[in-house]
Amino acid sequence: MAIENTIPGHTELCVLICTQNRPDSLLQTLELLAANDIDRSRFEVIVVDNALEPTAKQVTESMAERLTVRYLHEPVAGKSHALNLGLEADCYAPIIAVLDDDMSPGPEWCRGVLGLCDRWPNAGVFAASSYVIWPQNEFIPDWIRSHRLSGIFLSVIEYGKERLTSPGEFMSGNYFWFRRSVVGSRRFPDFWTSQAHFVLGLIDDGTNGVVAPEPRCGHRIQTHLLRLDVQRERAALFGREVSKFILAFPRTVPQARLAANHPILWKLRCLIALTRSVLMAASVPFRKSANRIPIALIARVGIANHLTSLFRRS
């Protein structure tokens, strides 16, 4: 169901937000987008509600006077389904940004996204730095504040300079953007790491990727991510998933190329890396108390990753 339609040729940026049962967080993100210092005719927002029973429609409609915004409902569970519905919507903007419903873009964010695209006309997929916004009135355990956990466990990445991506480098799935012209038939696969897989796929297709320190975007950390049991589960899941999508692109990812061309060397490499991860896990009781949980979680990622890689089907 469309709340407001766009006019072909007038919008430069489409912001795609998938949401599921977080109307308050969605509203905060929409309000921040509405506060951007840019004419509202230059960008539109598509909200895709992935809840079985819609929860985002009222929030989206409440912003219709401040934003060019559309509401879509994808009842099939899974973020990839919601993303693909948004990707296939009638959107005429040449730039599409994927933004999670717990991200906090600043007032210059839209201009920064378009500006980076202008500076890199031969690139097709982009990402910028993000930073942590801790939940208010919640106890924040010391272990989750470790810089070791920011990327995998909090989906926060800091880029030091504007540059092309390195071989095999993937972008955080909660915040990136791309040119519509590079998508072709590629869609978001039904994986937990769907967005990272999509980005690596674009790069594997020959698209240049660019990362930059600006425009930075805040990530409002959901309270369940402060729980150790949740992060332990995420560590194992991420380890298994990253192995799958990294090895899917032998043309551009060095590890995948080694696995495809020299499978015995690849198995040996995985065995050595697995041994290192097991030794890291075994060393946890002897570490400083502040480092024990972060190191245990990182070791868990490595063990899951290398075990999956070691026993993958050739």
**What tens digit of pLDDT does each residue of 260-309 get?**
999 999 999 999 999 999 999 999 999 999 899 999 999 999 999 999 98
Q: Per residue in 216-230, pLDDT tens?
A: 999 999 999 999 999
Candidates 147, 105, 127, 129; CA nearest to 195 is 127
Q: Per residue in 154-196, pLDDT tens?
A: 999 999 999 999 988 888 888 999 999 999 999 999 988 899 9
Beta bridge partners of residue 13, listed in sequence order: 43, 95
Q: Which residues contact 150 (CB under 8 A, 6 or more apart)?
A: 132, 156, 157, 158
Domain range 13-226, its CATH number among 3.30.420.280, 3.90.550.10, 3.90.1300.10, 1.10.10.10: 3.90.550.10
* 71 in Cβ contact with 2 (< 8 Å): yes
Q: Per residue in 189-238, pLDDT tens?
A: 998 889 999 999 999 999 999 999 999 999 999 999 999 999 999 999 99
Q: CA 199, CA 115: separation in Å to the nearest integer?
A: 20
State mean pLDDT over 254-259. 91
Residue 74 clears pLDDT 60, i.e. is over it? yes
Name all contacts of 71-75 with Cβ < 8 Å and 24+ positions apart. 71/1, 71/2, 71/3, 71/47, 72/1, 72/2, 72/46, 72/47, 72/48, 73/1, 73/48, 73/49, 74/48, 74/49, 74/50, 75/50, 75/51
Q: Which residues contact 227 (CB under 8 A, 6 or more apart)?
A: none
What is the model's pTM? Answer: 0.92
* Three-state SS letters, 197-222: HHHHHHHHCCCEEEEEEEEEEEEECC
Q: CA 130, CA 220: separation in Å to the nearest integer?
A: 10
Q: Per residue in 112-154, pLDDT tens?
A: 999 999 999 999 999 999 999 999 999 999 999 998 898 889 9
65, two tokens: 């006077």
For the chain, which residues make up each domain, given as ranges?
13-226, 230-310
- The pLDDT assigned to 4 comes to 38
Amino acid at 186: R
- The pLDDT assigned to 242 comes to 86
The pLDDT mean for the chain works out to 92
Percentage, residues of the chain above pLDDT 90: 81
> At CA 43, angle to CA 32 and CA 23, rounded to 5?
40
| Predicted confidence band of residue 33 (pLDDT cuts 50, 70, 90) | very high
Q: Per residue in 79-89, pLDDT tens?
A: 999 999 999 99
* 171 in Cβ contact with 203 (< 8 Å): no
124, two tokens: 């097709």
Q: Which residues contact 300 (CB under 8 A, 6 or more apart)?
A: 232, 235, 236, 239, 281
- The pLDDT assigned to 313 comes to 60
Q: CA 184, CA 72: separation in Å to the nearest integer?
A: 22
End-to-end, the C-alpha distance of the chain in Å comes to 45
